[in-house]
Amino acid sequence: MIEAVGLTKRYGKTVAVDNLSFTVEPGRVTGFLGPNGAGKSTTMRMILGLDRPTSGQVLIDGKPYARLDRPLRTVGALLDAKWVHPNRSAQAHLQWLAKSNGLPDRRVDEVLDMVGLTKVAKRRAGGFSLGMSQRLGIAGALLGDPKVLLFDEPVNGLDPEGILWIRQFMQGLAAEGRTVLVSSHLLSEMALTAQDLVVIGRGKLISQSSTTEFVERSTENTVRVRSPHADKLGAMLVDKGFTVREDTDGSLTVSGAQSDEIGDIAAASGVVLHELSPQRGSLEQAFMQLTGDSVEYHAELAETGK
Amino acid sequence: MTLLAVERIKLFSTRSPWWCMLLALGLTVGITAIIAANWTDSPMPVLGAVFTHTFGLYVVMVMAALAVTTEYRFGTIKSTFQAVPDRISPMVAKAVVVVLLSGLVGLASAFGSWGLSWVLAEDNSDLALTTANDWRHVAGVGLVYAAGALLALGVGALVRQTAGAVSIILVFALVVESVVGFIPNIGDDIQKWMPFTVASKFIFGDPDPSAIPNGAGPPAIGELSPWGSFGYFAGIALVIYIVSLVVVKRRDA
């Protein structure tokens, strides 16, 4: 379990992380979501004791990172797949890591096997593709068989096969009862991977909830209705206080109503329905709505488009 | 002990330390061989065999600086501090490994140069290591390389960039220390306390008559005795290294 309490990081006058508190539970994949520059990586570095918080603290199973004994056995992390010496072989890279926390050499072969890099173990890591580097990074994170795992934007730049592999891998780790925190700036990706979401913008906590709850709360639900008596039905729905928009093809988009309510109203007045389908707003839209004010660098286009 | 093994794996699983060690030995032993083969008319003195030690010193210092700066360049320093969050112990382990290795390279370079001179020089009657001073001229190279490596590790950890660290070390040792002497009035007095100038006094200073033909040879500048000179050089290296530890501990990785 990871607990952040009042975590704050200032660089001069810039506040990168602002009084951030959240918890990450074991047994679930928790998505750490926010636009680029929201402070996700800074927060992850503070969790690992690499950056010193200006104030506040992070505890891992009740202890600050620096107080963990042989920390790779408790926390595994992949912050950047390129953090490998390009002229060192994958095996040598894992060997020194393993040795530093008193893990046996045999464990190196095990994790290489887990991520499917056994065949290229002796090759220099500088020649690896992004996907292979990512796998090497994950192998490094798994070395100490840790209870807590952190991944920073692990699917960035990967092909669909690589994305699927990582997604399933993380879900597998959580299913084994581990605490998994994955950062991303893509809500659509997180919706597929994470059960819980910690959403931040400009270093501040925007929400912490389950993914379904977040998506339901933040997307606008509408119902699409097609009917030969659209005019009559539209008028009745407006009377009931729902917002109705008529689309160019003659169908109605009703917001604020559940599809069963509309079905009941139509049946009561004998209106024939050709279509009655609940629509879910896009995740991107919801995310934009929530974090829109907290994106650090707005594109000009977005400003004028409002 | 495990951290020493970690740093040993790190150092020897990349190529640059091997190249640096080869280059350091090649430059010193190779150039000394040329000098020795061309030493005619008089017996070759002990100091003649270690003239070239400074070339190797620069290369060894580059190797030591690289041992830290490449960790920053490639982000492995973050993995290092993740694995050992107190930060000081892995940095000390690195220093022990690099300093020991540099000392060994220094010994190999000096005794290699001396041995090859013995074989190649026309008259090697003065090359025998008979006095404590003779031994210091040759074996002292190991100590100077070791202290130089410590200094370079400190600079590397403070600057964190290969190009920056290497230029600071080389420009200081090769340019600043000689240019300082040209400052009117006070130049000479400052130069006497420049670390690399003082370090060569440890190697070249107070020779026995057999080590150098009457008064000729490399200048030994400085106010301190040869061993005092080494203490001064090593002291500066240690201070810079300790400052770097404090900075590394406090700075965001």
Average of pLDDT values for B88-98? Answer: 97
pLDDT of residue A218: 72
The answer to whether residue B6 neighbours chain A at the CB level (below 8 Å) is yes
Q: Rounded to an integer, what distance in angstroms lies between the CA atom of residue B9 and that of residue A97? A: 10
Confidence of residue A297 (pLDDT cuts 50, 70, 90): low
Please give the backbone phi and psi of residue A207, each rounded to the nearest 5 degrees, phi first: -160, 155
Using CA coordinates, name the residue in chain A closest to B3: A100
Looking at CA atoms only, how far is residue A176 from chain B in angstroms? 23
Cβ-nearest to A92 among B2, B9, B82: B9
- Chain A interface mutation, best of B82, B84, B249, highest count of A Cβ atoms under 10 Å: B82
Indicate left, alpha or beta for A241 from its phi (over 0: left) and psi (-120 to 50: alpha).
left
Residues B161-217 have pLDDT tens digits of: 999 999 999 999 999 998 998 999 898 899 999 999 999 999 998 888 776 766 566
pLDDT of residue A282: 65
**pTM metric for this prediction:** 0.85
CB-CB under 8 Å, B86 with A50: no
Is residue A306 scored above 50 in pLDDT? no
Contact A57, A50 (CB under 8 A): no
pLDDT of residue A216: 76
- Count Cα neighbours of A229 within 13 Å in the Cβ-side half-sphere: 13
pLDDT of residue A296: 54
Find the distance separating the first CA and the last CA of chain A, reported in whole Å. Answer: 41
- For chains A and B, count residue pairs whose Cβ atoms are closer than 8 Å: 79
- Which CATH number, 1.10.10, 3.30.420, 3.40.50, 3.30.70, labels domain A221-279? 3.30.70
* CA B212, B213, B219, B222 torsion-angle sign: positive
pLDDT of residue A305: 38
Q: State both tokens at A162.
A: 């690589």
Contact B71, B13 (CB under 8 A): no
Please give the backbone phi and psi of residue A57, each rounded to the nearest 5 degrees, phi first: -155, 165
Of the candidates B238, B166, B161, which has an alpha carbon nearest to the alpha carbon of residue B195?
B238
pLDDT of residue A157: 78
The answer to whether residue B74 neighbours chain A at the CB level (below 8 Å) is yes
Looking at CA atoms only, how far is residue A91 from chain B in angstroms? 10
Average pLDDT, chain A: 88
Is residue B113 scored above 60 in pLDDT? yes
Query: Would you call B66 helix, strand, or coil by DSSP?
Result: helix
The lowest-confidence range among B58-67, B119-128, B242-251 is B119-128
Q: Rounded to an integer, what distance in angstroms lies between the CA atom of residue A164 and that of residue B119? A: 67
Chain A CB contacts of B5 below 8 Å: 99
Looking at CA atoms only, how far is residue A146 from chain B in angstroms? 12
Q: Rounded to an integer, what distance in angstroms lies between the CA atom of residue A29 and that of residue A27? A: 7
Average of pLDDT values for A261-267? Answer: 89
CB-CB under 8 Å, B78 with A96: no
pLDDT of residue A53: 95
pLDDT of residue A293: 61
CB-CB under 8 Å, B5 with A72: no
Is residue B99 scored above 70 in pLDDT? yes
pLDDT of residue B207: 84
The lowest-confidence range among A81-90, A234-243, A283-292, B114-123 is A283-292
Residues A17-57 have pLDDT tens digits of: 999 999 999 999 999 998 888 899 999 999 999 999 999 99
Average pLDDT, chain B: 93
pLDDT of residue B43: 87
Chain A CB contacts of B162 below 8 Å: none
pLDDT of residue A231: 87
pLDDT of residue B222: 84
CATH class of A2-216: alpha beta
pLDDT of residue B216: 65
Is residue B130 scored above 70 in pLDDT? yes
Q: Which residues of A touch B (CB under 8 A)?
A: 45, 48-52, 65-66, 68, 71-72, 75, 77, 79-80, 82-89, 92-93, 95-97, 99-102, 140
SS3 per-residue string spanning chain A:
CEEEEEEEEEECCEEEEEEEEEEECCCCEEEEECCCCCCHHHHHHHHCCCCCCCEEEEEECCECHHHCCCHHHCEEEECCCCCCCCCCEHHHHHHHHHHHCCCCHHHHHHHHHHCCCHHHCCCEHHHCCHHHHHHHHHHHHHCCCCCEEEEECCCCCCCHHHHHHHHHHHHHHHHCCCEEEEEECCHHHHHHHCCEEEEEECCEEEEEEEHHHHHHHHCCEEEEEECCCHHHHHHHHHHCCCEEEECCCCCEEEECCCHHHHHHHHHHCCCCCCEEEEEECCHHHHHHHHHHHHCCCCCHHHHHHC
CB-CB under 8 Å, A45 with B82: no
Looking at CA atoms only, how far is residue A52 from chain B in angstroms? 6
Q: Which residues of B204-223 are buried (b: 16+ CB within 10 A; e: fewer)?
A: bbebeebbbbeeeebebbbe
Looking at CA atoms only, how far is residue B146 from chain A in angstroms? 24
pLDDT of residue B247: 97
Q: What is the DSSP letter of B193?
A: T
Question: What is the percent of chain A where pLDDT is above 90?
Answer: 58
Domain edges within chain A: 2-216, 221-279
Q: State both tokens at B101.
A: 């290795």
Confidence of residue A283 (pLDDT cuts 50, 70, 90): low
CB-CB under 8 Å, B2 with A51: no
